[in-house]
């Protein structure tokens, strides 16, 4: 009898452990999803610029100004020409930290043509519904001939420097281990595009001084909290990663990865290598992480300080519950949308904002059910 009881307890404990590792779906009554704008054509990025106004980019090279209800106020003129093919196009719009005074915006986009293209960053002043005083401050080197794996996410560190995530160009994955190429790296810039002198590879022969970290595949989620930086990247078939970024860190791709190639072939026999940084979290099979935010509002007290990851492979998003700088649990949310999510943001009003993906996409606002 005692033996049967002990076995039952062990079985119950095993079930509990297994459940802890499985992302749980929140009850629908925990929140409601309000639709603000519909009919968006492959939107990519959302930004808040004060007075309830928002900016949304569309991949084909369009930038729209919206009010707090999601109504389009204007299409912003003066957006640079973009290379709109496959994964290329207009990516992020990021207001300067002093946007309220300066009106400065930063745009990342694919520049060039099918034979030679790269991720580029432009800064400009928003004047009414037009961009003025445009200036290109960064273009990734070298140019490539693939229309994929651009990265494109940006964020501001607390010290006022700009972080930009880049991709490996797909066919050039070995370049992610080379310091003479921006492919597969995170770069750190001053607001005018100059190089901060405390970047880790400044003055190192054969290295590009803008590089902050390397060994990345395709960085599509980036979040700055003070001087701390988190990034997530796409793996191939599995091996998506969330990383805490350290200056000069090598994050392994393609010599250390949990993913395998789309053909089924092994990319590397190693999932970790001494001297390379292991991910905080990896997702295998892939969830297709496309954007990263940290909830900072007061409408969902239980979400305070947790990360939210937009996903392209599974519908909805992932909530990463954080404790002492570590991910302790994951939860699948917003599956009722039934579609891919391209961007996710913690809004200044305490709501969470979700931008879906595709030719007939929408902007949604997440609020408490009550």
DSSP string, 297-325: -SS-GGGTT-EEEEESSSSSEEEEEEETT
Cα separation values, 343 from 46, 140, 211, 268, Å: 7, 23, 25, 31
Residues written for the chain: 370
Pairing of strands 211-214, 219-225: unpaired
- Asked if 358 and 339 touch (Cβ cutoff 8 Å), the reply is yes
Q: What is d(CA 4, CA 9) in angstroms, rounded to the nearest whole number?
A: 9
Q: Which two tokens stand for residue 168?
A: 């490996």
Per DSSP, what are the bridge partners of residue 327? 322
Q: Are 318 and 281 in contact (CB under 8 A)?
A: no
Of the candidates 329, 279, 321, the one whose C-alpha atom is nearest the C-alpha of residue 304 is 321
Catalytic residue at 149?
A: yes
Please give the distance of CA 264 from its chain centroid, rounded to a whole number: 26
List, in sequence order, every residue forming a beta bridge with 94; answer none if it has no partner.
106
Query: Among 133, 222, 227, which residue's Cα sits nearest to residue 185?
Result: 222
Q: How many other β-carbons are positioned within 10 Å of the β-carbon of residue 130?
A: 13
Whether 361 and 354 have beta carbons less than 8 Å apart is answered as no
Which residue bears the tokens 């919206």?
66
**Could you give the C-alpha distances from 347 to 70, 154, 352, in angstroms and in order?**
13, 17, 6
DSSP 329-350: EEEEE-GGG-S-EEEEEE-TTS
CA 124 to CA 173: how far, in whole Å? 32
Q: Which of 149, 182, 216, 232 is catalytic?
A: 149
- Cβ-based neighbour number of residue 65 at 10 Å: 18
Q: Show which residues are catalytic.
A: 149
């Amino acid at each position: 009898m005692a033996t049967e009881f002990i076995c039952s307890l062990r079985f119950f404990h095993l079930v509990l452990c297994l459940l802890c590792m499985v992302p749980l779906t929140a009850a629908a009554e925990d929140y409601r999803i309000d639709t603000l704008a519909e009919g968006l054509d492959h939107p990519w990025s959302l930004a808040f610029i004060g007075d309830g106004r928002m900016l949304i980019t569309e991949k084909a090279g369009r930038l729209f100004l919206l009010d707090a209800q999601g109504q389009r106020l204007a299409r912003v003129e003066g957006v640079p020409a973009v290379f709109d093919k496959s994964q290329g196009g207009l990516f992020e719009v990021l207001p300067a930290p002093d946007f309220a005074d300066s009106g400065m915006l930063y745009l990342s986009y694919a520049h060039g043509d099918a034979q030679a293209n790269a991720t580029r960053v432009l800064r400009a002043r928003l004047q009414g519904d037009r961009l003025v005083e445009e200036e290109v401050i960064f273009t990734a080197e070298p140019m490539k001939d693939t229309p994929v794996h651009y990265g494109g996410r940006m964020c501001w560190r607390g010290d006022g420097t700009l972080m930009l995530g880049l991709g490996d160009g797909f066919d050039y994955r070995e370049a992610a281990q080379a310091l003479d190429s921006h492919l597969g790296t995170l770069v750190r810039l001053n607001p005018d595009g100059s190089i901060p002198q405390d970047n880790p590879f400044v003055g190192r022969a054969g290295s590009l001084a803008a590089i902050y970290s390397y060994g990345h595949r395709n960085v599509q989620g980036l979040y700055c909290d003070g001087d701390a930086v988190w990034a997530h990247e796409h793996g191939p078939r599995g091996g998506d990663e969330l990383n805490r970024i350290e200056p000069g860190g090598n994050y392994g791709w393609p010599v250390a990865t949990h993913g395998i190639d789309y053909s089924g072939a092994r990319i590397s026999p190693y999932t970790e290598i001494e001297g390379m940084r292991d991910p905080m979290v990896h997702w295998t099979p892939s969830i297709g992480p496309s954007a990263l935010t940290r909830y900072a509002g007061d409408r969902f007290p239980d979400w305070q300080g947790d990360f939210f990851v937009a996903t392209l492979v599974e519908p909805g998003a992932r909530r990463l519950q954080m404790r002492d700088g570590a991910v302790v649990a994951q939860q699948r949310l917003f599956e009722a949308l039934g579609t891919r999510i391209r961007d996710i943001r913690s809004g200044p009003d305490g709501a969470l904002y979700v931008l879906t993906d595709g030719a007939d996409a929408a902007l949604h606002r997440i609020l408490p059910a009550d």
